[in-house]
A and B are shown apart, each in its own frame.
Chain A
Amino acid sequence: MKLFLYIITLILMLISTYAALIYAPTETIMGNIQRIFYFHMGTVWVATIAFMIVFVASIIYLINGKKKWDVLAYTSAEIGVLFITLTIITGSIWAKPVWGTWWTWDPQLTTTFILWILYIVYLLIRANSGFDEKKAKYSAVFAIIAFIDLPLVYISARVMRGISPVVFGPGGGGIEPKMLNALLITLVSFTLLFILLLIERIKIENLKYQINKLIYTENN
């Protein structure tokens, strides 16, 4: 089953690379640089799913206290931080030629930046809270607060600046069908990649737990 998932993910990643770099038509205004957009969307998509999982798993952990939910929240947060970092990097590479700057403090970018910091802090709390159960509870509490905080950060940044460029949605204009195809296949392949990473990461975490238990019984 897992081998099947590996193969499917590999094939889809190759197809999405082809779709983004060759199949999709070149954007008339931005040119080839727009192609990074597919990967940009893919990474931000994965990060969004990952942080939602962290939020839900944290709530469930606080309710029933089962370790597997904490492991899910932790591993998902780690992958989320990786992908949000990639989002910021690809976004900056795209923004330099198009907007003429690596970074601006518009509401979306501000929120992404705060999101990135919040989940790095989440990992920091995990690294410094001592033993297992306390670590799990503290980080779950922080994950819930951080997730609720994000809409407020977005609203505040929006009210403060008063402007926001809309890429999609009402007023953002349509999208070329071939571009949409490329985007969708990228989203699917990135989602599969995320699931794969998550499964592997949870396995590593469980192995780590078993080793620690063995060391503990050995020492006593």
Chain B
Amino acid sequence: MNTLAAILWKDIINELRTKEIVLSMAAFSIVLVVIFNFSLVINNDNIGYLVPSLLWISIIFVGTLGLSRTFAIEKENSAITGILLSPIDRSMLYLSKVISNLIYILITQFLLLFLFVVLFNININGEVGLLIIVMILGAIGFSTLGTLFSTMAINTKLRELLLPVILFPVIIPVIINAVRATSIIFNGGGYAEISPYLKILICFDIIFLVTSALVYEFVVEES
């Protein structure tokens, strides 16, 4: 547990000093929302269906940007060698990276949600708590596999280019369920309607958190 906290703390300190990941993710989010505003005709009829998918498309695009950065930092000056040389469990390294990715994604996620709600004038129908749960579950699913695959992608010939290609098809269950649940909330549904989607999201998160933690040692050893 100490090692996890130490690596996590190192990442957070590093980010607080440079602010490069969160700032570029935030800037990209704002630009995306502006582009959506100009390129789509959004009116009261389609807003409840269109905005959830736009929101999640933005989240995975912006999230991918951040993911490819978090491990690239370790490659600079071969910082990763130092971590790998220390006698720590590889799954601890994985978990700490998942948590730091999760923090970045959550920050941009709520920024995006705020932008969409304010700029497109969306009615959350009072289900703020449920919406936050959906957001968090989606972000966990995204960052578990995202962390594993970004470590893989950074070590291949294609580098960051490979990450979206290998990540997007695998996280389709997250996208389907998160978009559905968000859409139901925006259209005035409650817990009863979204519970099947929440259950699948929880299953996804648990399955891939465990599997990825187990196979992470095979991926990170090679760098």
Contacts and interface: CB of A to CB of B under 8 A. Distances in A.
Nearest to A144: B215
B215 A121 contact: no
A156 B169 contact: no
Contacts of A201: none
Contact of B169 (A117, A137, A157): A117
A152 B200 contact: yes
A146 B168 CA distance: 11
Interface stretch (A75-83, A125-133, A178-186, A203-211): A125-133
B86 to A, nearest CB: 22
Contacts, number: 86
Nearest to A131: B222
Interface residues of B, number: 31
A130 B203 CA distance: 34
B contact face: mostly helix, strand, loop, or mixed: helix
B120 to A, nearest CB: 24
Interface stretch (B35-43, B49-57, B64-72, B171-179): B171-179
A159 B200 contact: yes
A128 B157 contact: yes
A125 B166 CA distance: 8
Interface string B150-181: 00100111100010011001101100110010
A141 B170 contact: no
Interface of B: 145, 148, 152, 155-158, 162, 165-166, 169-170, 172-173, 176-177, 180, 196-197, 200, 203-204, 207-208, 211-212, 215, 218-219, 221-222
Given A121-B169, A138-B222, 6 more contacts: A124-B166, A145-B215, A149-B172, A152-B207, A159-B180, A159-B196
19 contacts: A117-B169, A130-B155, A134-B222, A141-B148, A141-B219, A142-B166, A144-B215, A145-B170, A145-B211, A146-B170, A148-B208, A148-B211, A152-B200, A153-B172, A156-B173, A156-B176, A156-B177, A159-B180, A160-B176
Q: Which 7 A-B pairs have CB atoms at the shortest separation, nearest pair first?
A: A152-B173, A156-B176, A156-B173, A137-B218, A134-B222, A117-B169, A128-B157
